Amino acid sequence: MKYIRTSYLKKAVNNAPDDLIKDSEKNYYDQLSGICSYIFDNKEERPIVLISGPSGSGKTSTANEISRLLLKEYGCKSSVVSLDNYFRSNDSPGMPIGKDGKIDLESPLCTDLDLLKEHIQLLNECADFDMPIFNFKKQARDGYVPFRREPGSIVIMEGIHALNPLVTGENSFAWCIYVSVRTRLKADDGKLLHPRAIRLMRRLCRDNLFRGRDFAAIFSFFQSVSEGEDKYILPFKHRADYQVDTFMAYEAPVYRTYLYDKLLEQADIFENNDYYKKLMRFFGYFPSLKKDGIPETSLVREFIGF
């Protein structure tokens, strides 16, 4: 089990925040740089990259960074495709229903399985097809765009179900990558903060800052998302050729800047929420860190903006 002590974090934020950021970014970069080497060396046999991970794991940023590194380090062109575009409209027949009687949005059966598998095969063959576009406001498909993989290029497909063979098939021509937070924070009293709580911090920042959701809704939504993670995502983690730890040692102090005071004002709402209590306890172990000095290409920017 990998962990970072909150006492070290406090000292680093107070005395050498730039070094903390630099070292964290380098650790992430080194992981992806090594993976890109294998992707490039085998791009003719395996031109597709499938990236999976739970909510708040940094799938989108990791996909974009791999794309950037492939071009920067190898001159290799690539495209990033979100599997969210293959969601079925909410009024589609046979949508999966959860225990609450509502559509189970975490289920892989919300995906247009036949169309996606067909398009993955066409990507491998560099054939033309029309890729669907999903409109989240309408919760419905909103047209198509022409698409084709150029010979010698890579297509990086990211989504929570990317490693599920029911969704993407059993493909010998695809790399499988699983990304998530794998490092824990450890207080001097021995208490540990689970990686899932770091991902919750990320969601609290992003969804509140950019998606107009209040904290109560985010906490509630994260509970159902976590149940879906255990049921639909983790069982296929073993299929990954590579696993990436997207944890940044400095990120919790950055999220503290955006969350602590606001969450403290709503303490009475969350008096029975265990996640809330854990987050606030750990926020008390280290100071806030402003976003100055965070690279524009950093994964953390996915959750706090620019």
What CATH number does residue 92 fall under? 3.40.50.300
Q: What is the pTM of this model?
A: 0.94
Helices (H), the chain: 6-15, 17-41, 59-74, 113-124, 165-168, 195-210, 215-228, 251-265, 274-283, 301-304
Pairing of strands 242-245, 174-180: parallel
Give 259-295 pLDDT, tens digit per residue: 999 999 999 999 899 999 999 999 999 999 999 899 9
Give 70-124 pLDDT, tens digit per residue: 999 999 999 999 999 999 999 899 999 988 888 998 999 999 999 999 999 999 9
The C-alpha angle with vertex 53 and arms to 239 and 211, in degrees rounded to 5, equals 160
Domain total for the chain? 1
Q: How is residue 260 written in tokens?
A: 């602590």
At 139, the pLDDT band (50, 70, 90 cuts) reads confident
Are the CB atoms for 299 and 246 separated by under 8 Å? Answer: yes
Task: Note down the domain range covering 142.
Answer: 3-304
What per-residue confidence (pLDDT) applies to 128?
97
What per-residue confidence (pLDDT) applies to 290?
94
- Which residue, 178, 188, 190, 185, is CA-closest to 200? 185
Give 191-230 pLDDT, tens digit per residue: 999 999 999 999 999 999 998 899 999 999 888 889 999 9
On the 0-12 / 13-18 / 19+ scale of CB atoms within 10 A, 27 is middle
